[in-house]
Chain A
Amino acid sequence: MDTATHQSDEDILIHGLKSGNQSAFHKAVRLYTPGMLAVARFYLDHSAAEETVQDCWVTVIDAIQKFEGRSGLKTWLHRIVANRAKNHLRKAKREVSADFSETLDPELADRFAPNGRWATPPSLKTNESAQALLENGALSDCLDKHLASLPETQRSALLLYEAHQHKSDDVCNILDVSASNLRVLVHRARQKIFLMVETFQETGEC
């Protein structure tokens, strides 16, 4: 008796989680932990963020029974992490600080003449695909280094928006920022990576 003609991978995973299936948890932990960590790092330092994500997963064992699928599993998990991280922040009487005032990265801003035209224009055109570029291990390492050195707020916004493919509205909710401030964070982070790739392509150095 096959009533369900199509069950998505996510539905199957949710069913496994609700049944307390260990391999479903293992799969979900691998799939969703990087994004959950990106959320937690927006609010907390490295060790507090890791602790928060670990605690969340233990909470999820029971909380998943109440998951009704009104949002996707990823968004639901990210909201749980954000709430816990915000509570943590509140208890520590701290606030997230980020600069939303300037859209241009200072290093890029310096490359324009007073009349608003390029004084130092981008020199090389990137023609290779992302996959081809990443086959260069040194560039991949350099990217790691630069992503790690971004301000936490920029990195979290960038990762949630790009790598974890959230919609803007979801990222704004999870990170408690306005749509325009999210745009600033994402754009600032992208410029840093743009500058890094440019330097790497010109000099071969990170």
Chain B
Amino acid sequence: MLMCRDLARIASDYIDGELGPMDTVSVKMHLMMCGHCRTFIGNLRASVDLINAHSSQQLDEELVRRIDERVTESLNARNSGNGNSD
């Protein structure tokens, strides 16, 4: 029988739909009987949503500026090189 600790081990696989059919049924049966695990799965899912919403906003502007500079330099060097074909 699936215990709470076992469920916690495979919770991400369940959330992502990566569990096999037998394990999925075991998790669903356990969740029907266990409020703590329902809360756990719900909160883990909320954490995943939070990571998605948060991480997509992250950008290191200073790094982007440095890359832009190097790319622009290289593009200019290439273009002037093409123009001076001697």
Which residues between 30 and 52 of chain B lie within 8 Å of chain A, taking CB atoms? 36-37, 39-40, 42-44, 46-52
Within 8 A of B (CB), among A25-62: 25-26, 29-30, 33-34, 37, 50, 53-54, 57-58, 61
| Contact A186 B5, beta carbon cutoff 8 Å | no
Q: Which of A66-74, A93-101, A117-125 contacts B (4 or more CB under 8 A)?
A: A117-125
- In the complex, whether A198 has a CB less than 8 A from a CB of chain B is yes
Interface residues on A, range: 35 or more
Stretch of A7-15, A81-89, A108-116, A170-178 at the chain-chain interface = A108-116
Expressed in whole angstroms, the Cα–Cα distance for A144 and B4 within the complex equals 29
Contact yes or no, B50 A133, CB < 8 A: yes
Q: With an 8 A cutoff between CB atoms, is B75 at the interface? A: yes
Interfacial chain A residues near B36, Cβ < 8 Å: 118, 121-122
Interface majority SS on B: helix, strand, loop or mixed? helix
Chain B, 49-73, contact with A by CB distance < 8 Å: what is the 0/1 string? 1111111101110011011101110
Q: Are B39 and A125 in contact (CB under 8 A)?
A: yes
Q: Tell me whether chain A's interface is mostly helix, strand or loop, or mixed.
A: helix
Q: By the criterion CB–CB under 8 Å, are B51 and A190 in contact?
A: yes
Q: Given A22-B75, A117-B4, A118-B4, do A183 and B13 touch, yes or no (CB 8 Å)?
A: yes
Sampled A-B contacts (7; CB under 8 Å): A116-B4, A121-B40, A122-B40, A126-B47, A130-B52, A134-B50, A163-B51
List the 8 closest pairs (A to B, CB-CB), nearest first: A116-B3, A163-B55, A121-B36, A187-B12, A130-B49, A130-B53, A126-B46, A112-B5
Q: A126-B46, A133-B50, A197-B47 are in contact. List 7 more A-B contacts (CB 8 A).
A: A54-B66, A112-B5, A133-B46, A134-B54, A162-B51, A162-B52, A193-B50
